[in-house]
Amino acid sequence: MTLASELLKTATDARKTWITKQTERFAKAFQQRLIDSQGFETTTTLKIFAPANTTRRGAEEAAKELKRSLEEQGFKGPQVQVVHVAKGMTPRLSVQASLVKDDNEDRAGGLQGHCPVCFGSKVLVALAPCGHTICKDCRLSVYPSLRALLPPRSKCPICRSVVDQATAGIFVS
């Protein structure tokens, strides 16, 4: 085996090890976020350093590989972006992924019920802390900018109490 092929193999193995470690690190951070939010937060963002001594192009390749690895682990819609820093510094990656599909992607799954706002029979989401349920479509029309967090001082359309969070759906096992 030539020196060049040994170096290539070593670099490839190091990249695979880095991808595996970062995927595990993201999964642990995601799990902790899910526990801390009592199941309300289904999307997590994490900032990590690209592999050491990586160029901009190398960081972009690492981002693609990390995204592929997160998809293989079951995360939905992973986004890995290279965050450029000062020249000579190791680039950073911003990683974001979810365990559930975006509302616009997946209308199936979750507990079906009658929405008290539109009176339709659709997948329901729960509002916290009041616990009232509305359908995903009404959640988006009542809270149009809702992604992970609600606008400040949002109110429940049923009891008018302040709503802090909304689930991505109600799932019963």
Residue ranges with strand state E in 99-159: 112-114, 121-128, 133-135, 154-155
What span, in angstroms and rounded, lies between the C-alpha atoms of 165 and 149?
Answer: 6
Percent of the chain beyond pLDDT 90? 1
Residue with tokens 């820093």: 85
Residue 63 lies in a domain: yes
- Evaluate if residue 13 carries a pLDDT over 80: yes
Residue 9 belongs to some domain of the structure: yes
60 and 122 housed in the same domain: no
Distances (CA, A) of 76 to 18, 36, 134, 173: 21, 20, 24, 20
**Mean pLDDT within 50-66:** 85
Q: Whole-model pTM?
A: 0.53
Q: Does the pLDDT value for residue 106 go beyond 50?
A: no
Return mean pLDDT, the chain.
77
**Structural domain containing residue 120:** 112-166
Q: Residue 35 falls within a domain, yes or no?
A: yes
Q: Are 70 and 78 in contact (CB under 8 A)?
A: yes
The confidence score (pLDDT) of residue 172 equals: 53
Domain total in the chain: 2
Q: Are residues 116 and 51 in the same domain?
A: no
Residue 160 and residue 116 in one domain? yes
What average pLDDT does this structure show over 97-107?
Answer: 55
In a domain, 107, yes or no: no
Contact 33, 44 (CB under 8 A): yes
Over residues 129-141, the mean pLDDT reads 81
pLDDT band at 38 (very low <50, low <70, confident <90, very high): low
Q: Is 123 exposed, middle or buried (0-12, 13-18, 19+ CB in 10 A)?
A: buried
Mean pLDDT calculated for residue range 141-168:
71
Would you state the pLDDT for residue 171?
59
Q: Are residues 138 and 80 in the same domain?
A: no
CA distances from 3 to 6, 17, 39, 58 (A): 5, 21, 51, 21
14 assigned to some structural domain: yes
